[in-house]
Amino acid sequence: MPILGAHKSIAGGLHKAVERAAACGCQCVQLFTRNATQWRAKAIEAEDARRFRRALDEYQIGHPMVHDSYLINLASPDRRLWRRSVDAFVEELRRAHLLEIPYVITHPGAYTSSTESAGLGRIIEALDEVEPQVRDCRAGCLLETTAGQGTSLGWRFEQLAAILDTVRNPDWLGVCFDTCHVFAAGYPLGTSRQYEATMKAFDRVIGLDQIRAIHLNDSAHPLGSRMDRHAHIGRGHMGLAPFRHLLADPRFQQVPMYIETPKGERRGVDWDVINLRTLRRLSP
């Protein structure tokens, strides 16, 4: 049985994300520990962390996961933005550590006005700069596969491999596999044969053992579109088949899976409930 959960809002307090996850039948939860569109973040007090941990215990929610702020761009050619991103990323890891959350998931970054190789170089430099500052933190970092929209890096498996193979210490790093992003990046997952070929490619280039989290999202745009827009499970261009393969894959039964599908309510029904129900039905 796969471990299924969702990204949840922390409005009202960090522990609220756990309560929200429990209310829609999640077994795991992903959250921002701060407003993801602002640089400034309120410090996490000891009491906030205690309440958060207590909620996980009380509601039996496991595998808490942090997604970092959208402002962070470790690939930026802009020295100031890059520095600010490095500092903010250190902060993200410290916050995760305070909450005893094992990983912070990040998009590797966008090279904007520079080049792919310059961008990859900046990311490697950033991770090498962050790592010694967080040696006392138990939280590691997961690089997320991206859709490759605009100048975003991490959409080709080779780009993630280049980062993991070049950083000074890869031990604190892993990968988060986002289905929508991988599909939009041009890797088909529909038929069993396509699914196996994509996983084989991932294994050859990066290694499937690097996958420590999975994001389950359908895609609002077609295969290879390199557009990052999530859709409800089975209602986008991916359809249900890729999820059926993934949920039945014995290699991922212990890897927590989170939906990041659109929120909003339909006739008073929570969409997360609908999407999780669809996924449970597809699970073996």
Closer CB to Zn ion, 94 or 215, in the complex = 215
Q: Output the smallest distance, CB 135 to Zn ion, in A.
A: 25
Query: What is the β-pairing status of strands 28-31 and 4-7?
Result: parallel
Which one, 76 or 106, has the nearer CB to Zn ion? Answer: 106
Q: What is the dihedral of CA 278, 220, 37, 91, to 10 degrees?
A: 60
Q: How far is the CB of 137 from Zn ion (least distance, A)?
A: 20
Residue placing its CB nearer to Zn ion in the complex, 92 or 144? 144
Give the 3-state secondary structure of residue 258: strand
Residues that bind Zn ion (CB under 5 A): 144, 178, 215
Mention every residue, 6+ apart, whose C-beta is less than 8 A from residue 78.
112
Contacts of 159 (CB under 8 A, 6+ apart): 108, 116, 120, 153
Nearer to Zn ion, 17 or 49 (CB): 17
Smallest gap from residue 178 Cβ to Zn ion (A): 4
Cβ of residue 258: shortest distance to Zn ion, in angstroms? 8
Q: Which one, 48 or 178, has the nearer CB to Zn ion? A: 178
Q: How far is the CB of 46 from Zn ion (least distance, A)?
A: 29
Q: How far apart are CA 108 and CA 185, in angstroms?
A: 15
CA distances from 225 to 61, 125, 130, 147, 183 (A): 35, 30, 33, 8, 9
